[in-house]
A = this chain, B = another copy of it.
Amino acid sequence: MAYELYYWPGIQGRGEFVRLALEYSATPYLDVARGPGGMKKMLSLMERERVFAPPLLRSGKLVVFQTANILAYLGPRLGLAPKSGAQRLRLHQLQLTIADWLVEVHDCHHPVGVMLYYEDQKRESKRRAASFRKERLPKYLRFFERIIGREKQFSYLNLSLFQMMEGLDYAFPRVMKKQRAPALRDNQERVRERLADYLSSERRIPFNTQGIFRYYPELDAR
């Protein structure tokens, strides 16, 4: 039975981190919410299984949610995680740190509230994005730059860091050009090559200003 992935159909968002693991490992899966009647199926599964928010993954009777948790589950099954328990724990905590990073990216355009439009919080977004560009982005990049250069085994961490770099390049092109992160760049290039087929397919949703990574020129550096 194929894995079933459920995520908002119009954006990459958090679902993309799961999709990359499935695509990279050439694992068959159904992208349910993007198919006919998919949104209805997703919402009714969420209600029945008490899921707080997508993405969710169904594997037979098991329904898993929270992106990092899904990757912790899939990693060993797709050959994208180390064998030892201690190593998996380590990988998972790094993925959780990426999850924190992603929240901070999101909050650059939604510092006041998820239920409000960006247009209703532009002033606050400018302040938040300035602090992100100046302090938080360099801190996360430095942290993962030191990590990724020394990884001995390719894992879902490589895929997630690829996605972070792609998203940040889209959302903050001018700031990102100024960052020095050779190991992260090297990882990004290698993953992009290996995922070329997927990335040029219709299965890859383009970045847009509905997702987590959004390009608003006023939030980027001058």
Which A residues have a C-beta under 8 Å from some C-beta of B?
A: 50, 52-53, 62, 64-66, 68-69, 72-73, 86, 89, 92-93, 96-97, 99-100, 103, 107, 111-116, 121, 124, 127-128, 130-132, 135-136, 143, 146-147
Copy number in the complex reads 2
**Pick the contact of A93 from B64, B115, B132 — CB < 8 Å?**
B64
Task: Tell me the bound Cα distance from A97 to B66 in angstroms.
Answer: 8
**DSSP class of A's interface residues: helix, strand, loop or mixed?**
helix
Q: 13 A-B contacts, Cβ less than 8 Å apart?
A: A50-B147, A64-B89, A65-B93, A69-B93, A100-B103, A107-B111, A112-B127, A112-B131, A114-B131, A115-B135, A116-B131, A124-B124, A124-B127
Q: Is the CB of B143 within 8 A of A127?
A: no
Q: Is the CB of A114 within 8 A of B96?
A: no
Smallest CB gap from A150: residue in B = B50
Q: Is the CB of A128 within 8 A of B111?
A: yes
Q: Is the CB of A89 within 8 A of B69?
A: yes
Task: Tell me the bound Cα distance from A131 to B124 in angstroms.
Answer: 14
Q: Is the CB of B89 within 8 A of A73?
A: yes
Task: Tell me the bound Cα distance from A99 to B52 in angstroms.
Answer: 12
